[in-house]
Structure 1
Amino acid sequence: MAVSLANITLRQLRALAALAESGSVTGAARKLHLTQPAITLQLRAMQDLATLPLIQRVGSGVQLTEAGLELLHLSQRIEAAIADSQQALALISGQSRGRVRIGAVSTAKYFMPFAIAAFTRANPGIEVMLSIGNRETIIGALRGYSLDFAIMGRPPPDVAVQRHLIGDHPHVIIAPAGHWLAHDEGLAVNDLTHEVFLTRELGSGTRSLMERLFATANLTPTIGMEFDSNESIKQGIMAGLGIAFISAHTVATELEDGRLITLDIAGLPLVQQWFAIRRSDKILLPPAQKAFDFMAQEAARFLPKPPMGRPLSKA
């Protein structure tokens, strides 16, 4: 039987999206303020149109099949288009001068608020909504069309994007002031075999880069604790819980005032780049395009400048 989605409805797509988010028909019904039979009816009707199973039961509830995920992506594109059209109509009617939805990986919070402040001073009528998350979270938001653009490092491999380089993003290994290796020069990564590392959670770009660094050295670091924020890592290091591989932009102040130090490791600082990234298939309304162009051209001015005494190595 041929697949025909000509009669698919927004109500059906929203039922599927609610199911994907909640993991159960009960949760989807609660989210949409409908009864469970109503949700089930919408899902069955959509499955009849798709002629393929859209959900499958698992131990803890239900999850989407490959066909279900495809229709979830359709739902996300439609919801993003509706939001854009609402904003476009508000712009046309003069009710608004626009809204911009920006996502940024958590390390970017050390400069993005300053860049946004400069943008809003120059464009006081444009409202900026900033979402902060780890790399995995921001990539998910890009996939779901819920962002106009994102500030991050490596672009997602499975999404066609347009990107503009902002600037270098160095990474270093930091330790508390007075660490026993503080005055040693020319250390190798393998010299850190007996050190305990504090690290970001899985899904973090910094965590992924650290794992690549140690894999190159054929070394498995000893992980003491995982943290979901750079601030917690810094406090843990100053408390003597270990050392860390971290973005130099997150520790510029602490390095400057001597509360933390960088260890002199061969090949470090390791440098990636910051990019302003947008989906190639997402049309930006004028306010979002203006913000994207501003970040591509001006955000580099707001990057922290940590004290660095050694040459940079490109990641």
Structure 2
Amino acid sequence: MNYTLHQLEIFKKIAEVKSVTKASEQLFLTQPAVSIQLKNFQDQFKLPLFEVVGRKLYITEFGEEIAKAAAKILEEVEAINYKSSLFEGELAGKLKISIVSTAKYAMPYFLSGFIKENKMVDVTMDVTNKMSVIRALENNECDFAMVSTIPKKLKIEQIELMKNKMFFVAGKDYKIPKKNVSLKDLNESIFIFRENGSATRLAMEKYLVKHKIEILRKMELTSNEAVKQAVIAGLGISIMPIIGINDALKTGDIQILKIKDLPLETYWNLIWLRSKNLSNVAKAFQQFIINNKEEIIEEQFRKYNNSSKY
């Protein structure tokens, strides 16, 4: 047999996602290239690794065993690469970060420079809701988390990153009776909420209670992107972080409603457990953020902190 590491990686991914198309997307390869490598890999075995029934791909029992073996081989190769880099004086290892969904618009900018400087560092970034992020932190499943609300029950350390400004927004066809919308004008609208556990939902609920806004109809969605698309479609109004809707504002698909006591302002924070023994990679990332956060915020996020613009 003469299979390559590249073929092992491709088959492992296909076995995970059960689709050549999805595997090609996640590996940033063309579908024909993945199909060719899959065929070449299959040709080296007498037993089938997979079968196609209808339009669905199924991994055979034999294929599952080969996929497990491939995963182990690739892990060993990764370990060899890490050890080689360490002996050469390079930083090598894994960095695990868990972030709330709206932080996905910010965290990549804080990671970019660090990854470019340290090519042997692999990053896993889990994008989920606040409750899941805190659970991952509490269970030691990640090195760092990015949140806008600090968990009170955990003993954590933090680095304050940047402002998180939230506005009431509506679709382009939302009828505004006058220049500034009054709180009473909102009562007939459908309010679009994030799911329970979301910091954005909590901020929105506090604002509505504080100003005694009556909610007659509401909708609940499980991601910031879903809320944005619902607002664009004219399904209702919501309070959303400005960082996640900037493109829609530029195209005019979303409009900011000028309402009393807005925007709401919190801060994004990079947090970690005080008791956690940070790896060398995690310590290096921590120091990178401390040294470079002001420059990153100025270069990438100055437009979001300009209050006069909105």
The two structures have a TM-score, normalised by structure 1, of 0.65
Partner of 1:208, secondary structure, is helix
Q: Contact 1:151–1:277 (CA<8 Å) still a contact in 2?
A: yes
| Structure 2 segments unaligned to the other structure (5+ residues) | 1-78
The residue aligned with 1:206 is: 200
Number of residue pairs the alignment of both structures matches: 223
Indicate yes or no: 2:284 matched with 1:290.
yes
Which of 95, 98, 109 is the matching residue for 1:114? 109
Counterpart-to-counterpart distance in 1, 2:160 and 2:177: 34
Partner residue in 1 for 2:249: 255
How far apart, in 2, do the equivalents of 1:273 and 1:307 lie? 11
Q: Does structure 1 retain, via aligned residues, the 8 Å contact 2:92–2:118?
A: no
Counterpart check, 1:240 vs 2:238: no
Judge conservation of contact 2:170–2:256 (CA < 8 Å) in 1.
yes
The Cα of 1:222 is off from its aligned counterpart by 3.6
Q: Which amino acid is the alignment partner of residue 303 of structure 2? A: K
Map of 2:92 onto structure 1: 97
Rounded to whole Å, the distance in 1 between the matches of 2:137 and 2:159 is 16
Paired with 2:224 and 2:207, the residues of 1 have a C-alpha distance of 19
Q: Give me the whole-angstrom Cα distance separating, in 1, the residues matched to 2:305 and 2:178.
A: 16
Asked if 1:139 corresponds to 2:139, the answer is no
Name the structure 2 match of 1:305: 303
Are positions 1:280 and 2:278 aligned together?
Answer: no
Question: Of 181, 188, 208, which residue of structure 2 is paired with 1:194?
Answer: 188
Query: In structure 2, the residue corresponding to 1:287 is in which secondary structure?
Result: helix
Amino acid corresponding to residue 206 of structure 1 in structure 2: T
Q: Does the alignment pair 1:158 with 2:153?
A: yes
Change (3 A) 1:203 1:223: farther
| Alignment CA distance shift 1:304-1:133 (3 Å) | farther
**What secondary structure does 2:262 align onto?**
coil
Asked if 1 retains the 8 angstrom alpha-carbon contact of 2:85 and 2:120, the reply is: no
Q: Partners of 1:293 and 1:272 in 2: how far apart?
A: 23
Q: Which whole-Å deviations, capped at 9, do the CAs of 1:101-154 have from their partners, x for residues lacking one?
A: 111110011122233222200111211111111111101111111111111112
Q: After superposition, give the CA deviation of every residue in 1:82-109 in whole Å (9 maximum; x if it has no partner).
A: xxxxx9xx76994881111111110011
* Structure 2 residue aligned with 1:129: 124
In the alignment, the residues of structure 2 paired with residue 162 and residue 272 of structure 1 have an alpha-carbon distance, to the nearest angstrom, of 17
Cα distance in 1 for partners of 2:241, 2:304 equals 10
* Identical aligned residues as a percent: 27
The answer on 1:264 being equivalent to 2:262 is: no
> Does the Cα contact within 8 Å between 1:249 and 1:305 map onto a contact in 2?
no
